[in-house]
Amino acid sequence: MLGRWFTYHRRALRFALRRLLTAPLSALLSMLVIGLTLSLPAGLYHLLQSGAQAIGQQPIDPEISLFARVDASAEQIAKIKQELARTQGIAQTRFVPKAEAFERMKQAMETADLLEGIERNPLPDAFIIKAASRDPAELARLRDRLAQLPGVEHARIDLQWARTLASSLRLAQRVTLIIALGLCAGLVLVVGNTIRLQLLDAKDEIELSRLIGATPRYVRRPYLYFGALQGLLGGVLAAALVWLALKYFNQSAAELLNLSQLNVELPNLAPRNALWLVALATLLGWLGAYVSVQSHLLRRAP
């Protein structure tokens, strides 16, 4: 019994391989369609996932920048220092006088000569505060409490941009996943249409087989192998395209990430993820073949 099962599957696989070799152009086009369609959402999803994880793992201490009013007096600045010393939840405070900030701005700007004519320093005194907690809710409460101090103009959390970017990446991941589901459904239809053409060419042979006792499973088996092989080849192409695209992107993005002061190295497509992509493509090819053959058999049931 087991030997007969292997014989049936070996014949079905041989039939599928012969079909692929006798129509290489059609097989190549199907492989290209599957590979290109899967590589786009797979590469984008992997890139977004890696970027969100890398940003979330950045070892950056949460800081709150506290800006005094431009016209704040020395007495008000001293009171702010006293209040910060008594405030719980603050691990460290660094005072940045407006004169020091103005000198840094002149050194950083290429047009520092233009600032020499400014009689009044337009920058405020500032405090760089390291919070004791990294919890976003506690940081927000501490920022709001500090913003209410007399003489304070504005308070902001310096890591807010990182959280906003990470949330945006996660949202983009979900959108990409929805698009990928739609493309997968389209691939099932594409493979099913290819199989349907194969079935129309062999309809007389199939009907004769059914009349002499061939079961639907026997008729389906070679076409399922054919669809699975198409998906397998397309999945290999998709994995190769994603790997090459991510490698090129990482080389181009390295300079931008360094300028952003992010110690981020986006990983390329891991072998396990590549295998999952190939397995998904194979499954889609098999599913497209199954739907096409099953609908053909139901329409032409003897």
If asked whether residues 98 and 178 sit together in one domain, one would say no
Joined together, the tokens standing for residue 97 give 């006088």
What confidence score (pLDDT) does residue 237 get?
92
- For the range 180-183, what are the long-range contacts, defined as Cβ-Cβ under 8 Å and sequence gap of 24 or more? 180/41, 180/42, 180/45, 183/37, 183/38, 183/40, 183/41
Cα 262 off chain centre by: 18
If asked whether residues 136 and 266 sit together in one domain, one would say no
127, 158, 189 — which closes off a domain? 158
Q: What are the CA-CA distances from residue 274 to residues 146, 174, 232, 262 (Å)?
A: 50, 20, 12, 27
- 216 lies in which domain range? 10-58+163-299
User: pLDDT per residue over 229-275, tens digit each?
Assistant: 888 999 999 999 988 888 877 766 656 555 555 555 567 788 888 89
Inside any domain, residue 117: yes
Closest CA to 10 of 296, 27, 18: 18
Residue 265, SS3 per DSSP: coil
User: pLDDT per residue over 1-49, tens digit each?
Assistant: 666 767 767 877 787 788 777 777 877 888 888 888 888 888 888 877 7
Give 209's contacts (C-beta < 8 A, 6+ positions apart).
Answer: 218, 219
If asked whether residues 182 and 51 sit together in one domain, one would say yes
Inside any domain, residue 37: yes
Inside any domain, residue 2: no
The CATH code of the domain that includes 113 is 3.30.70.3040
Can you name the residues that pair with 92 across neighbouring β-strands?
A: 130
pTM: 0.62
If asked whether residues 244 and 153 sit together in one domain, one would say no
What confidence score (pLDDT) does residue 195 get?
78
Joined together, the tokens standing for residue 116 give 């020499």
- The structural domain count of the chain equals 2
If asked whether residues 135 and 189 sit together in one domain, one would say no
Q: How far apart are CA 247 and CA 82, in angstroms?
A: 53
Inside any domain, residue 18: yes
Cβ atoms of residues 236 and 276 within 8 Å: no
If asked whether residues 131 and 262 sit together in one domain, one would say no
If asked whether residues 54 and 114 sit together in one domain, one would say no
| H helix runs in the chain, sequence order | 2-22, 24-56, 74-86, 98-108, 112-115, 136-147, 160-201, 203-211, 216-259, 271-299
Inside any domain, residue 3: no
If asked whether residues 289 and 197 sit together in one domain, one would say yes
Q: Mark 97-107 as b/e (b = at least 16 C-beta within 10 Å).
A: ebeeeeeeeee
If asked whether residues 206 and 117 sit together in one domain, one would say no
Can you name the residues that pair with 127 across neighbouring β-strands?
A: 66, 95
User: pLDDT per residue over 93-123, tens digit each?
Assistant: 888 876 676 676 666 555 545 555 555 666 7
User: Would you say residue 301 has pLDDT above 60?
Assistant: no
If asked whether residues 149 and 217 sit together in one domain, one would say no
158, 174, 204 — which closes off a domain? 158
Cβ atoms of residues 285 and 227 within 8 Å: yes
If asked whether residues 202 and 288 sit together in one domain, one would say yes
